[in-house]
């Protein structure tokens, strides 16, 4: 006979906290950042909104807990962290290519992250500032290695990377919100996505061989 799980106050609290955290993601996907109110989150969790201030002090605290647990930038980077640790400042083009391609795939397939980027560029908040800082930290670790390899060369790899990542964000958001192409390319179709990935690799190849 299976052991009956204790249904005590601590278990109830942890289950409720988890429901509220998961509810943030549900609201973010369906209503965007402007829908992250106590009422909407509590409704999505099926709980009283009073529990938000009991367990998290405020809605902002709850949203921050959700965002930090998701750890989008590490997830979007794939094995980049391991590649950074193993690299000695050689063949950094492959790290950048890998990282940017992974960001494209992850961002394209993650509605929550798409909403977060829209939030980031639409409203200045403490939460999104800290999220941006986490992203910048990961990029800085990569650029420390590229600086070693590209020392003495007239290559602004930060600017190149910035344009590539910004282009990814715009193309994905455009593709997800409209039925039109962008420069006659539809990344909702496999051939369109492949063209963009090939272009990313080509731009990095040309930048490094400048």
pLDDT band at 70 (very low <50, low <70, confident <90, very high): confident
Spatial CA neighbour of 44 closest among 34, 56, 31, 54: 31
Give whichever of 8-17, 53-62, 65-74 has the largest mean pLDDT.
53-62
Average pLDDT over the chain reads 87
- Asked, colleague to colleague, whether 9-70 and 72-208 share their fold, the answer is no
Q: Which residue has the higher pLDDT, 5 or 80?
A: 80
> What pLDDT is attached to residue 1?
47
DSSP bridge pairs for 185: 182
CATH architecture of 72-208: Orthogonal Bundle (1.10)
Spatial CA neighbour of 204 closest among 94, 76, 99, 104: 94
> What pLDDT is attached to residue 6?
41
- Rounded distance between C-alpha atoms, residue 116 and residue 113, angstroms: 5
Judged against a pLDDT cut of 50, whether residue 7 lies above it is answered with no
- What are the structure tokens assigned to 147, written together? 């600086």
> What pLDDT is attached to residue 97?
94
Contact 127, 63 (CB under 8 A): yes
Domain 9-70 has CATH 1.10.10.60: yes
CA angle, residues 87, 152, 156, in degrees to nearest 5: 75
pLDDT band at 115 (very low <50, low <70, confident <90, very high): confident
Burial of 152 (0-12, 13-18, 19+ CB in 10 A): exposed
In the chain, where the domains are located: 9-70, 72-208
């Amino acid at each position: 006979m299976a052991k009956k799980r204790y249904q005590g106050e601590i278990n109830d609290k942890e289950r409720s906290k988890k429901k509220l955290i998961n509810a943030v993601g549900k609201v973010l996907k369906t209503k965007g950042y402007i829908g992250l109110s106590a009422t909407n989150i509590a409704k999505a969790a099926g709980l009283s909104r009073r529990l938000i201030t009991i367990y998290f002090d405020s809605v902002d605290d709850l949203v921050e807990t959700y965002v930090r647990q998701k750890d989008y930038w590490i997830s979007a980077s794939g094995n980049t962290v391991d590649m950074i640790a193993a690299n000695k400042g050689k063949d950094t083009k492959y790290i950048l290519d890998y990282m940017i391609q992974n960001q494209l795939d992850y961002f394209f397939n993650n509605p929550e992250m798409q909403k977060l980027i829209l939030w980031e560029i639409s409203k200045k908040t403490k939460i999104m500032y800290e999220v941006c800082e986490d992203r910048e930290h990961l990029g800085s670790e990569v650029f420390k290695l590229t600086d070693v390899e590209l020392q003495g060369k007239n290559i602004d790899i930060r600017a190149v990377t910035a344009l590539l990542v910004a282009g990814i964000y715009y193309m994905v958001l455009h593709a997800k919100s409209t039925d039109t192409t962008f420069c006659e390319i539809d990344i909702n179709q496999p051939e369109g996505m492949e063209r963009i990935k090939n272009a990313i690799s080509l731009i990095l190849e040309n930048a490094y061989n400048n």
